[in-house]
């Protein structure tokens, strides 16, 4: 491997200063320059991605900790040396990969793990990523991203000043510049710690009273829109958000989040980037409190077919499985449009495949089977509907549920009738009438 320049600065980004040997097939200067530029001065190790070039204290110098490393060693006895490789190929760009000094040492410490195939893969992936980023804003990773060092960021002092002047918009703009940098850098530190740091700068907080769980209200108080977007079970539109949470100026808040790269580029829906969303969802207590916010907003309008779908997923997130399955089952029985029928059927089938069905009572499971059969029938999938109702009949007898048994009789009759099997439909209707009279089920008898 060959260093590009010394750590204390240099005059050219690729001036190889490593001692040379007559037995080594070192890279020509032109090759080193090309490798450096193709990697954009960033380590090719996907687990590192560290920048290797930066300014020196002196204006006439720069710091470079980058290395143009040999994939197959430059001399016999070196890591990954290939006897079959000729000198021209050994000194060519195909045998070179750009790394930081730490990673260059790492790959030579275990040549079995860091084999030529892996290094070639690193190089290709890295150069593809750099190629796709040309002409686009590069993420800023040099700002502090943990709760201790973020206090020292000078932009937060400016935000604090604006906050005390009651310029909240300006304060949040400044703060979310720092936040956007942290998100773009894909920081793995807890997202709430940055919110907490900002609030601590802006208002007096009793440090002794702050615990891990008590930080949730700070998140909701500081920037509720971000928390709501992070826990949205489905991508919302700006119009939908404005109706559910009218006290929030969504147009302004969305503009702020877009400006600092917190949102994806979707034209129709407001979608938070995964790095920002997952940083909030890492704390179960915080996520639960925010899901409760959604539930309180959605429950008053849960009779709507679209709202019920949203609400059921938030119920599931809160482990309120009985409420989720009952809501979905009831709405699915009354849908008359194919697109919503399909959506509810897909959801019910997904729930059926998981262990959620085991976490609810037998009556709720039977309601789900009945709704699945109705959705199948409404979509013209009569054979699937009939099989579902037959299964419902068996389970109803097993659990001694007279309501579900009556539903299996009448609904399988509907499926038979729509599929053209009139005789079977008549037989099923007769069984439904007998069952309704036997159990005094007036609703079922009226349906027959």
Averaged pLDDT, 268-284: 71
The strand ranges marked E within 136-294 are: none
Q: How confident is the model at residue 275 (pLDDT cuts 50, 70, 90)?
A: low
> Quick one: 215 and 314 in the same domain?
no
User: What distance in Å separates the CA atoms of residue 421 and residue 361, rounded to the nearest whole number?
Assistant: 34
On whether residue 138 sits in a domain, the answer given is no
User: In what order do the strands lie in the sheet containing 2-3?
Assistant: 2-3, 66-70, 96-100
Render pLDDT for 143-162 as a digit per residue (tens, 0 to 9).
334 444 444 555 556 666 66
On whether residue 141 sits in a domain, the answer given is no
Q: How confident is the model at residue 260 (pLDDT cuts 50, 70, 90)?
A: low
Please say whether the beta carbons of 272 and 263 come within 8 A: yes
pLDDT score of 177 more than 60: no
**Between 22 and 437, residue with greater pLDDT:** 437
Query: pTM of this prediction?
Result: 0.50
Q: DSSP characters for 409-423?
A: HHHHHHHHHHTT-HH
pLDDT attached to residue 178? 54
User: What distance in Å separates the CA atoms of residue 250 and residue 270, rounded to the nearest whole number?
Assistant: 10
User: What distance in Å separates the CA atoms of residue 14 and residue 418, rounded to the nearest whole number?
Assistant: 77
pLDDT score of 379 more than 60: yes
Q: Is the dihedral of CA 30, 31, 32, 33 positive or negative?
A: positive
User: What distance in Å separates the CA atoms of residue 294 and residue 324, rounded to the nearest whole number?
Assistant: 14
**Between 281 and 241, residue with greater pLDDT:** 241
- Structural tokens at position 409: 């009789």
On whether residue 163 sits in a domain, the answer given is yes
User: What distance in Å separates the CA atoms of residue 204 and residue 210, rounded to the nearest whole number?
Assistant: 12
> Quick one: 248 and 325 in the same domain?
no
> Quick one: 128 and 162 in the same domain?
no
Backbone angles phi, psi at 272, to 5 degrees: -75, 145
How many domains is the chain built from? 3
> Quick one: 268 and 308 in the same domain?
no
Long-range contacts of 32-40 (CB under 8 A, 24+ apart): 32/2, 32/4, 32/68, 32/96, 34/93, 35/68, 35/93, 35/96, 35/97, 35/98, 36/4, 36/66, 36/68, 36/98, 38/98, 38/127, 38/130, 39/66, 39/98, 39/126, 39/127, 39/130, 40/130
pLDDT attached to residue 7? 42
Domain boundary residue among 279, 313, 331?
Answer: 279
> Quick one: 154 and 272 in the same domain?
yes
CATH number of the domain to which 390 belongs: 1.25.40.10
Domain boundary residue among 105, 133, 161?
Answer: 133
On whether residue 107 sits in a domain, the answer given is yes
On whether residue 144 sits in a domain, the answer given is no
On whether residue 53 sits in a domain, the answer given is yes
Domain boundary residue among 70, 98, 133?
Answer: 133
Render pLDDT for 386-424 as a digit per residue (tens, 0 to 9).
999 999 999 999 999 999 999 999 999 999 999 999 999
Q: Give the bridge partners for 186, in sequence order.
A: none
Q: Which residue has the tokens 């109803």?
A: 396
Range of the domain at 117: 2-133
Which of 40-44, 63-67, 136-140 shows the lowest per-residue confidence on average (mean pLDDT)?
A: 136-140
User: What distance in Å separates the CA atoms of residue 141 and residue 136, rounded to the nearest whole number?
Assistant: 15
> Quick one: 55 and 119 in the same domain?
yes
On whether residue 287 sits in a domain, the answer given is no
Please say whether the beta carbons of 158 and 114 come within 8 A: no
Please say whether the beta carbons of 145 and 55 come within 8 A: no
pLDDT attached to residue 59? 82
Render pLDDT for 309-327 as a digit per residue (tens, 0 to 9).
889 988 988 889 899 999 9
> Quick one: 354 and 310 in the same domain?
yes
DSSP character at residue 26: P
> Quick one: 311 and 435 in the same domain?
yes
> Quick one: 234 and 307 in the same domain?
no
On whether residue 400 sits in a domain, the answer given is yes
Element (H, E) at 403: helix 402-418
pLDDT attached to residue 174? 57
pLDDT attached to residue 255? 83
- Which range has the top average pLDDT, 198-202, 370-374, 442-446? 370-374
Please say whether the beta carbons of 68 and 96 come within 8 A: yes
Which of 22-26, 27-31, 43-47, 398-402 shows the lowest per-residue confidence on average (mean pLDDT)?
A: 22-26
> Quick one: 270 and 222 in the same domain?
yes
> Quick one: 111 and 168 in the same domain?
no
pLDDT attached to residue 391? 93
What integer best gives the mean pLDDT of the chain?
Answer: 76
CA nearest to 90, candidates 16, 14, 24? 24
pLDDT attached to residue 154? 58
Render pLDDT for 382-396 as a digit per residue (tens, 0 to 9).
999 999 999 999 999
Q: DSSP characters for 123-180?
A: HHHHHHHHHHHTTSPPP---S--STTGGGG-HHHHHHHHHHHTT-HHHHHHHHHHHHH
Chain CA centroid to CA 136, Å: 22
Q: Give the bridge partners for 2, in sequence order.
A: 68
**Between 440 and 355, residue with greater pLDDT:** 440
> Quick one: 178 and 113 in the same domain?
no
- Structural tokens at position 438: 């036997």
Please say whether the beta carbons of 7 and 31 come within 8 A: no
DSSP character at residue 11: S
Rg, C-alpha atoms of the chain: 32
Q: By percentage, how much of the chain surpasses pLDDT 70? A: 72
Q: Is the dihedral of CA 184, 189, 192, 198 positive or negative?
A: negative
pLDDT attached to residue 26? 87
Long-range contacts of 179-182 (CB under 8 A, 24+ apart): 179/260, 179/262, 180/259, 180/260, 180/261, 180/262, 181/139, 181/140, 181/141, 181/143, 181/145, 182/143, 182/145, 182/150
Residues 6+ apart with CB under 8 A from 56: 8, 9, 62, 63
User: What distance in Å separates the CA atoms of residue 108 and residue 97, rounded to the nearest whole number?
Assistant: 13
């Amino acid at each position: 491997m060959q260093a590009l320049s010394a750590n204390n600065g240099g005059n050219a980004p690729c001036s190889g200063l490593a001692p040379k040997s007559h037995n080594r097939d070192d890279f020509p200067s032109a090759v080193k320059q090309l490798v450096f530029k193709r990697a954009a001065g960033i380590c090719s190790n996907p687990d590192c991605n560290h920048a290797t070039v930066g300014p020196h204290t002196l204006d006439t110098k720069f710091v470079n900790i980058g290395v143009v490393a040999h994939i197959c060693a430059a001399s016999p006895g070196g890591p990954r040396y290939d006897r079959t490789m000729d000198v021209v190929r050994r000194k060519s760009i195909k045998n070179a990969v750009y790394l930081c000094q730490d990673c260059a040492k790492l790959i030579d410490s275990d040549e079995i793990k860091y084999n030529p195939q892996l290094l070639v893969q690193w190089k290709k992936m890295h150069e593809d990523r750099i190629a796709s980023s040309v002409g686009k804003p590069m993420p800023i990773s040099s700002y502090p991203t943990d709760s201790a060092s973020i206090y020292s960021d000078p932009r937060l002092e400016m935000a604090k000043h604006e906050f005390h002047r009651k310029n909240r918009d300006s304060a949040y703009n400044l703060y979310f510049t720092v936040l956007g940098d942290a998100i773009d850098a894909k920081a793995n530190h807890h997202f709430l710690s940055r919110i907490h740091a900002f609030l601590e700068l802006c208002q007096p907080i009793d440090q002794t009273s702050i615990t891990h769980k008590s930080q949730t209200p700070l998140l909701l108080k500081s920037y509720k829109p971000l928390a709501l977007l992070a826990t949205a079970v489905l991508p919302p539109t700006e119009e939908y958000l404005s109706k559910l949470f009218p006290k929030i100026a969504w147009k302004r808040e969305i503009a702020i989040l877009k400006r600092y790269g917190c949102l994806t580029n979707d034209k129709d829906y407001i979608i938070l980037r995964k790095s920002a969303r997952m940083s909030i969802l890492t704390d179960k207590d915080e996520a639960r409190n925010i899901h409760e916010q959604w539930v309180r907003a959605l429950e008053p309008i849960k009779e709507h077919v679209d709202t019920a779908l949203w609400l059921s997923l938030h119920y599931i997130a809160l482990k309120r499985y009985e409420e989720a399955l009952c809501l979905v089952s009831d709405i699915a029985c009354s849908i008359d449009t194919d697109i919503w029928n399909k959506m509810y059927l897909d959801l019910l089938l997904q729930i059926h495949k998981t262990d959620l069905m085991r976490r609810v009572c037998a009556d709720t499971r039977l309601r789900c089977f009945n709704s699945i059969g109705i959705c199948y029938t409404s979509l013209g999938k009569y054979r699937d509907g009939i099989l579902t109702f037959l299964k419902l009949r068996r389970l109803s007898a097993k659990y001694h549920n007279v309501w579900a048994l009556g539903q299996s009789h009448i609904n399988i009759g509907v499926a038979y009738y729509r599929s053209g099997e009139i005789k079977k439909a008549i037989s099923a209707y007769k069984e439904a009438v007998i069952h309704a009279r036997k159990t005094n089920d007036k609703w079922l008898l009226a349906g027959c």
